[in-house]
């Protein structure tokens, strides 16, 4: 089992994209033609990423980490087949976060599929200083109480004062760092040892700061 492994060079160089990427959607064509120049402009137009190459084009400073890799099995007519299931998180440490899951018979390909799906799931995170103890006005925490849930896992984040740090579990800390949040209080409920549910509950809690406004 692999945990918390950073992926080197998660974004393809612009030169390779210019040669290899042929956009299939209107949004992708606007990005490659230079009509959409930043990730903020993109989310002013649409709430979803139609092609994962768009993230490589607009956010070259993205970071990616493998949060978990497990071996899974499925029963087929020819017998049991084993595969790797990878959980990958990405972020630019400046207000954007994504989580993806990939399955494949080869570990490397499972990580690659999870990385691409995380790019398709990238979403903005609203940051601020909602703590009455601080009121500095800097985007170092969440601006208000936010909650995310998946399965039995429920995660609640509360604004924290500057210097507090991340009072959260290890998986949550990784995602918070990738989103660019430095101080936060948290409460968790349910089977938090289930990495996939926990990571996605944290993802929903962070992105709800933007989508539930």
Q: How many helices and strands in the chain, by DSSP H and E?
A: 7, 8
Q: Quick one: pLDDT at residue 2?
A: 44
Q: Quick one: pLDDT at residue 77?
A: 74
In the chain, what are the domain boundaries?
5-123, 146-211
Whole-prediction pTM value? 0.91
Cα distance between residue 99 and residue 90, in whole Å? 6
| Regions of the chain with pLDDT less than 70 | 1-3, 213
CB 131 within 8 A of CB 143: no
Q: Quick one: fold of 146-211? A: Ribosomal Protein S5; domain 2 (3.30.230)
The torsion of the CA quartet 49, 52, 55, 57, rounded to 10 degrees, works out to -120
Q: Quick one: pLDDT at residue 135?
A: 80
CA 46, 49, 51, 52 torsion-angle sign: positive
Q: Quick one: pLDDT at residue 150?
A: 94
Count CB atoms within 10 A of the CB of residue 114: 29
Q: Does domain 5-123 have CATH number 3.40.1130.10?
A: no
């Amino acid at each position: 089992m692999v945990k918390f492994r950073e992926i080197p060079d998660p974004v393809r160089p612009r030169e390779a994209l210019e040669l290899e990427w042929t956009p299939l959607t209107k949004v992708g064509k606007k990005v490659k033609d230079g009509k959409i120049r930043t990730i903020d402009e993109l989310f002013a137009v649409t709430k979803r990423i139609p092609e994962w190459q768009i993230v490589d084009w607009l956010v070259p400073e993205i970071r990616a980490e493998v949060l978990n890799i497990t071996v899974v099995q499925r029963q087929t007519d020819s017998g049991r087949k084993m595969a790797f299931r990878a959980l990958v998180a990405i972020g630019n440490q400046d207000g954007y976060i994504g989580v993806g899951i990939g399955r494949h018979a080869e570990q490397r390909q499972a990580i690659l599929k999870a990385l691409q799906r995380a790019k398709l799931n990238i979403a903005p995170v609203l940051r601020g200083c909602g703590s009455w103890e601080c009121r500095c006005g800097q985007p170092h925490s969440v601006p208000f109480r936010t909650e995310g849930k998946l399965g039995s896992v429920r995660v609640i984040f509360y604004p924290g004062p500057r210097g507090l740090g991340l009072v959260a579990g290890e998986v949550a800390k990784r995602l918070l760092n990738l989103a660019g949040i430095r101080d936060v209080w948290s409460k968790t409920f349910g089977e938090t040892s289930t990495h996939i549910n926990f990571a996605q509950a944290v993802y929903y809690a962070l992105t709800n700061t933007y989508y539930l406004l």
